[in-house]
Amino acid sequence: MRLSTLRLTTTRTAAARVDRNRLTLLPFPDIGTLLTDETWQEHATEPGEPLTHTSTVTGPLITRLATFAQVEVNYATRARELNSPPPSIPRLLTTPVVALAGDRDVLRLTDAPDLRWGVELGVMIGQYTSRVPRTRALSSVAGYTVVNTFAAPGWPATVAIGPQLVTADELPIGARGLTLTATLDGRLRQKANTSDLLFDVATLIEHASARTALMPGDLISTGTPAAISTQRLHDGSSITVAVKGIGELHNTVAERSSPGPSTFGPSQAAARDSIEG
């Protein structure tokens, strides 16, 4: 099953089920709110309201994010790029988030010279999860999505999510074997496979849930591969990150002073707390 959050008007969003070219509205404002219902799977498969609009715009899957855990290094190629040995245990960062963005959103970002971004597999939690063992951790997964986190040291992150959440039953176990890519202005910058993860999804959930209780709608991003971009983004930079079988997430960068339909970006400095688990 594929789920998305649609922008119906400038003030109204709605969760929707995606069946090929057909969209069915669900009685929830976004996917995050849907997941907070214990019977969310039943609601997601209900007949719902067919969408009659000729065009749709997707927003971020969730409009509020209580916990965002990001893996610092989870590919051997990334460790080599940093000239450091691969970590022996997952190092999860609890990253402050200043804004959530969706597919095709225009991003206005901090002017920090070391702003970084990169493609990541996103894991969305579907049930209350605390101290779950690895053998049962995948039962907590609602689905998988595409994530691109724009962050600089000392600043909260802008996190682009979407455009769809693909439920776990539609993908290989633990979302293994999926190709990830990132392009900047049409040039390939990153390519990897989720089978190359140093710590798989079950291991990450086990470690994250040992430190804090995970709630429905919480997000774990599994880390970005080598060639993470530190190149200065300019007005009009076009970024596409994709995970095969899940979708493509497109965003454009605009100068902060430029007019536009959407505004995202850090408003004040904030530190990133780290958790080793």
- Segment 181-211, tens digit of pLDDT: 999 999 999 999 999 999 999 999 999 999 9
- pLDDT tens for each residue of 74-132: 999 989 988 889 999 999 988 789 899 999 999 988 777 778 899 999 999 999 999 99
Could you give all domains of the chain from N- to C-terminal order, each with its CATH number?
2-58 (no CATH), 68-276 (3.90.850.10)
Give the separation between CA 263 and CA 25, rounded to whole angstroms. Answer: 26
- What is the reported pTM? 0.90
Q: How far are the Cα atoms of 66, 82, 260 from residue 222, in angstroms, in the given order?
A: 17, 17, 31
Positive or negative, the CA dihedral 222, 243, 99, 107 is positive
Predicted confidence (pLDDT) at residue 260 exceeds the cutoff of 90:
no
CA nearest to 102, candidates 163, 32, 49: 163
CA nearest to 222, candidates 239, 250, 241: 241
3-state class (DSSP) for residue 155 = coil
Residue 245: how many other CB atoms lie within 10 Å: 15
Q: Between 95 and 13, whose confidence is greater?
A: 13
Q: How many angstroms separate the first and last alpha carbons of the chain?
A: 32
Predicted confidence at residue 231, as pLDDT, reads: 65
Lookup: tokens for 58: 């997707």
Give the separation between CA 122 and CA 186, rounded to whole angstroms. Answer: 23
